[in-house]
Structure 1
């Protein structure tokens, strides 16, 4: 099925943190050109030359590591779909038709350092996602009941909040550090910097609790449940439903360390 302008406009990618990703603005600018081309082909206004399959193939994006960026594999796969669609519409010079389109490394990266992508039980790239449609004001999440107790293994983590944890922790600092969320475009999302800063505090908190140092914890379950983030619409933001669901898990995890 041929791509539509809405397919491009509503496309979402997971955001990676602390490992290479594509600069979001670079990717969004290219997708805006693709969307404008598809709109012109449907009889809409044409404000510039139509983009070709070769131009999409030749696009290169800056890489990010210290700031959030789009998952490179997801972007590469979607751009390959765009290239095929534009060629099917005749928007190709034919110079590279029939040639191998993808090298073994990320073809659209200006820099593409490679490294393993650690799996996380709390969300992984490529998971099913729905376009963000959160309210203009972020909702208050209701308190969640504690997760049922389980038997801790021998040599479980030391005391936290003055007590030995009753359950084996299921969320680690690495789970928080590597957590990814889909991003919204032209729909309401959470401010990425605010969410990232809060997750940094959550990572420090889990590290402290796992090491038996509750005095170094920066967050409590109540603070996780009550946090509110600014919202975005004109620029990318994190999917509110995915962020809220993860913070509910985080609050449950921190609650396990509380005294009875």
Structure 2
């Protein structure tokens, strides 16, 4: 599973004399992916979250004689992004807060029942 930090650190090979994907379009999509994953990781809402279907449906403008991102690398990475959005991010939720205050003994019952643990 990918995290928002994994997406932020992702780099693609730049190609110049063969077809690639428009770098600005790919970067814009990855910004939205990061926002969506961060929202899922922290449990905070985001204005326009992406779904796996959104990622699979995106089409980038091709570049040929100007620098673009390697298409195969981008496609492979976006497959991983879509899978993460399908399955949910690999984030372990924090444990629930303790029910009582640590170090304080309950005052319910008699001292005898507390001593015997009843």
Which structure's relative contact order is higher, taking Cα pairs within 8 Å and 6+ residues apart?
Answer: 2
Q: Would you call these one fold, judging by a TM-score over 0.5?
A: yes
Higher helix content, 1 or 2: 2
Deviation, structure 1 residue 44: 6.2
CA distance in 2, matches of 1:7, 1:14: 16
Deviation, structure 1 residue 47: 3.8
Greater Rg, structure 1 or structure 2? 2
Structure 1 segments of 4+ aligned residues over 3 angstroms from their partners: 44-47
TM-score in terms of structure 1 length: 0.33
TM-score in terms of structure 2 length: 0.71
Q: Which residue of 1 aligns with 2:94?
A: none
CA distance in 1, matches of 2:44, 2:26: 22
Contact kept? 1:19, 1:66, Cα under 8 Å = yes
The Cα RMSD (Å) is 1.6
Deviation, structure 1 residue 45: 4.9
CA distance in 1, matches of 2:84, 2:46: 21
Deviation, structure 1 residue 46: 3.6
Aligned length: 89
Q: Which residue of 2 aligns with 1:36?
A: 35
CA distance in 2, matches of 1:17, 1:45: 40
Q: Which residue of 2 aligns with 1:68?
A: 67
Q: Which runs of 5+ in 2 are unaligned?
A: 90-118
Contact kept? 2:22, 2:61, Cα under 8 Å = yes
Deviation, structure 1 residue 59: 0.3
How do 1:26-175 and structure 2 match up within 5 A? 26-43=25-42, 45-89=44-88
Q: Which residue of 2 aligns with 1:117?
A: none
